[in-house]
A and B are shown apart, each in its own frame.
Chain A
């Protein structure tokens, strides 16, 4: 029912002469596909003309790589790497309100098309592997969220895992590939209806998201899928699609209408990147930039107001306590956590108490979300060194010495995308310099500036 107008938009990338470089570098060097992968951003920006890669003007990509005086490519490659890493940090600096309590349904295509071997070892195994990594990392970043998994096979939707806040539970359902063996045709409509039904009871302060990993080029639906699209828009479900084969009109429509992100994976690494782009919590949407023209029914924008959530902070039983049965698995074990309301013992937190339904978290779980709320300001690349100021000779984080003289900028684009030719990145608050590795490390993992926080 959906049109097969998809094509390999990034096909031309394979013809580039940079195959000897890392695929990541190739991506960053040509900056291809990135703009396309984020239709929502484009929509906000006065709708630039979308250009397929084979329609682009011919670029001499090999000119971007230049040897230095010694004939070495090391600096060039290093700059590419630095640019790739920094690209992810180019996020808006102002505090945006993010959804902390997230609910996500991961829809996995389990149709026969997933047995294709265009991604090694095949699409299905790769998807399972990445899905497991994704779930683990997602819970790491969103400890208060919940994930459910829906599979599409043989024309029906199959609930692989109900919405759960407990990572081991979700991972267990993904661990067994026998249960998920791909077959038949996928049905987008059935899967989305199931995802929508599973999230319909959620309160307004939590997000409702769906990520579809779609390997097929067809969908086999019982009704009009555009009705499902309308309902998803009404229910404020954000749908993102990671396509493994090609772009499908209906998939892109789902993403643009609901404010999600659409992308076609070019290779294994790109697939992983696109999936992992969904890990940071999305900004809270307002009604006007929801990108949902169908949302004209005057629905109250109560997503913007907060809500109070009741949560229990459990007592941890030490490993030396007497073994008792847990309510979640019925296993005798010593360690565990006591629900503060009904005093039942659960194995692992965060979870919902199986007895009294209280959300059980610990203070560190809340603290794990704080870095989304108080992000480190992006460091500025140092463009010129003032000889008068006594800039430190070593990085303020790891203590590695900075190069004394900056290498010449390799390409004209070097200055624009925030790469310092001195390898120095300066914190706007404390005015201390950091090396490129520490810059990425501080913003990606550490989430606090080493010299601002005394």
Chain B
């Protein structure tokens, strides 16, 4: 750690969520009182790791956000404790004092949403001030921090997503990208928030959902203490399964192919004559064109002939299908036959555990039925067991078989199978040695919002 790093911590102090967290029996009770000591250890560790490190703590309360502590305006208190490193004491005392003030002033009952966005934007404003120090502002002489400072933000979240805050959160994410600030998210309680997952993914931070919360300090020290430069060298868990698909505005369903209003960018799952958001009328011509494009080329259930696959040269057997990929560890000789079958008749493959005919030996040992790819789940990523990719220009497939050829060439899973499924983890075990149920846990379905 050569350069100083700045850490902005945003803590979600939603009274309802913390209350239900402390009385929750599923994951074991975890109250604010047991959270704060672990937080203080983490804060002190951050300050101790480098003398120039700075810290800002912003609390998100219902309807308001306020800065609990900032290294810049920290006042050294008179009652120094000789046994305690003074900066530790300053931080702990300031946070406790400000937090109790804020909690006291909270109204008895409030419906105001948690001001997470406010806290996030305030931190970004502060970081902007740090990164671009203004030479002319004569009042802030102490901001002699160099521009080499590497800022980051850590969010402790307990509340679920607020759909109203989607746009401001996205704006904050893009702003953080521009400032090269990474957003780390530590989810202490409640369901995963897709917005913050996207935030962590887009800014290169890590998203961590804590299950065993009594050992929170271990997670904090290992995952979140190191600055971004160091973190590249460490195997910090990153969120790799982020769903970037959009939900349509009309039915709130996740869509693969959406129809976007060119005026207001509303998303619809099927062509509509009038935009429901901005009332823009769409020309009839494009409506009919788009409806044409939506039609599947073949009625479902009819297996397609696949001349391309059969005529593929023998040279590239390992590139093709997930079955084929799984086979790269297994027998290559038998692989080709199953590839051809997999590419050609993909509808049957939907039903059983996919590619089971493919791997010749032992790959499916101990697999729960449908464990790799339950039809409803694995396909969920690709739009639910659609028989085949419908084409916009129906002639394309019949004319030159291009998409199929490409599919087989680039190793597409047949029939819209989710390649994110676990053939990778299957490969982690040599054939036949796969343990009974571990390692083949199906990937959870992509989170939806």
Contacts of A341 in B (CB 8 A): 256-257, 389-392
Does B406 touch A at the CB level, under 8 Å? Answer: yes
CB-contacts of B171-217 with A (<8 A) = 171-175, 178-179, 198, 202
Contact status of A364 and B244, CB under 8 A, knowing A322-B411, A450-B121: yes
What are the residues of chain A within 8 A of B259 when measuring CB–CB?
308-311
Check A324 against B257 for contact (C-beta < 8 Å).
Answer: no
Q: Verify if B64 is at the interface (C-beta below 8 Å from A).
A: yes
Q: Are B256 and A340 in contact (CB under 8 A)?
A: yes
| B interface majority secondary structure | mixed
Compute how far the CA of A320 lies from the CA of B293 in the bound complex, rounded to whole angstroms.
34
- Decide: A340 near B257, CB < 8 A? Known: A307-B282, A315-B418: yes
B413 to chain A, nearest CB (A): 8
Q: Does A382 contact B (CB under 8 A)?
A: no
Q: A78-B137, A305-B281 are in contact. Are A318 and B117 (CB under 8 A)?
A: no
Do A397 and B126 have beta carbons less than 8 Å apart? yes
Q: Which residue of B lies closest to A450 (CB)?
A: B121
Across-interface contacts of A318 in B (CB, < 8 A): 240-241, 420
Stretch at the interface among B19-27, B46-54, B260-268: B260-268
Tell me, yes or no, whether B170 is within 8 Å of chain A by CB: yes
Whether B121 contacts A446 by the Cβ 8 Å rule is yes
B112 at the interface (CB under 8 A from A): yes
Minimal Cβ-Cβ distance residue in B for A345: B410
Interface pair B257/A305, CB less than 8 Å apart: no
Q: Contacts A399-B122, A446-B171, A454-B64 hold; do A101 and B128 have CB atoms under 8 A apart?
A: no
Stretch at the interface among A146-154, A161-169, A173-181, A436-444: A436-444
**CB distance B122 to A445 under 8 Å?**
no
From 112 to 153 in chain B, residues with beta carbon under 8 angstroms from any chain A beta carbon are: 112-115, 117-118, 121-122, 124-126, 128-129, 132, 134, 136-140
B265 touches A366 (CB 8 A): yes
Q: How far is the CA of A400 from the CA of B393 in the complex (A)?
A: 59
Is B275 an interface position by the 8 A CB rule?
yes
Tell me whether A399 and B416 are in contact (CB under 8 A).
no
Would A364 and B257 count as touching, CB distance under 8 A?
no
Residue pair A343, B129 in contact (C-beta under 8 Å) = no
Binary per-residue interface labels of chain B (229-268) against chain A in the complex, 1 for a CB within 8 Å, 0 otherwise: 0000000000011101110000000011111111111011
Given A308-B260, A447-B171, A448-B167, A370 and B406 touching (CB < 8 A)? no
Q: Does A8 contact B (CB under 8 A)?
A: no
Is the CB–CB distance between A307 and B409 below 8 Å? no
Closest to A397 in B: B125
**Pairwise interchain contact B136-A342, C-beta atoms closer than 8 A:** no
Give CA–CA (A347, B332) in the complex, Å.
28
B389 near A342 with CB under 8 A, answer yes
How many chain B residues touch A (CB < 8 A): the figure is 100
Contact partner of A77 (CB less than 8 A), chosen from B114, B136, B140, is B136
Which residues between 386 and 407 of chain B lie within 8 Å of chain A, taking CB atoms? 389-393, 396, 402-403, 406-407
Do B262 and A450 have beta carbons less than 8 Å apart? no
A363 CB → nearest B CB, Å: 4
Residues in chain A near residue B322, CB distance under 8 A = 322
A2 interface residue, CB < 8 Å from B? no
Q: Are B136 and A78 in contact (CB under 8 A)?
A: yes
Contact B260 A343 (CB under 8 A): no
Could you tell me if A356 and B257 are in contact, using CB atoms closer than 8 angstroms?
no
**Is there an interface contact between A324 and B256, defined as CB atoms closer than 8 Å?**
no
Nearest B residue (CB) for A404:
B139
Known: A320-B240, A338-B412, A355-B402. A437 touches B129 (CB 8 A): yes
B73: interface (CB < 8 Å) = yes
Chain A residues near B129: list those with CB within 8 A. 398, 400, 437-438
Q: How far is the CB of B318 from chain A (nearest CB, A)?
A: 10
B255: which A residues are within 8 A, CB to CB? 313
Distance of A36 Cα from B170 Cα, bound (Å): 37
Which residues of B275-292 are within 8 A (CB) of A? Answer: 275, 278, 280-283, 286-287, 290
Tell yes or no: B271 within 8 A of A by CB.
yes
Within 8 A of B (CB), among A140-158: 140
Instruction: Select from chain A the residue with minimum beta-carbon distance to B242.
Output: A316
Considering only CB atoms, which chain A residue lies closest to B418 in the complex? A315
Q: Does A54 make an interface contact (CB < 8 A)?
A: no
* CB of B30 within 8 Å of the partner chain: no
Contact B128 A453 (CB under 8 A): no
A451 at the interface (CB under 8 A from B): yes
Point out which of A77, A345, A362, A398 has the most chain B C-beta atoms below 10 A from its C-beta: A398
Nearest CB to that of B262 among chain A residues?
A: A205
Set of chain B residues within 8 Å of A43, measured between Cβ atoms: none
Q: Which residue of B lies closest to A374 (CB)?
A: B167
Task: Please tell me if B18 contacts chain A, counting CB pairs below 8 Å.
Answer: no
Judge whether B241 and A100 touch: CB under 8 Å: no
The reply on A386 being an interface residue by CB < 8 A is no
- Chain B residues with CB below 8 A from A371, complex form: 167, 171
Q: Known pairs A306-B264, A312-B258. 6 more at Cβ < 8 A?
A: A308-B282, A313-B258, A321-B420, A324-B325, A364-B173, A400-B140
For the complex of A and B, list the 3 residue pairs with the smallest distance between their C-beta atoms, beginning with the closest.
Answer: A397-B125, A306-B280, A324-B411
Q: What are 19 pairs between A and B in contact, CB < 8 Å?
A: A77-B136, A205-B263, A305-B281, A308-B260, A311-B257, A312-B258, A315-B419, A317-B420, A322-B423, A322-B424, A325-B319, A343-B407, A356-B403, A363-B244, A370-B170, A373-B265, A400-B140, A446-B124, A446-B125
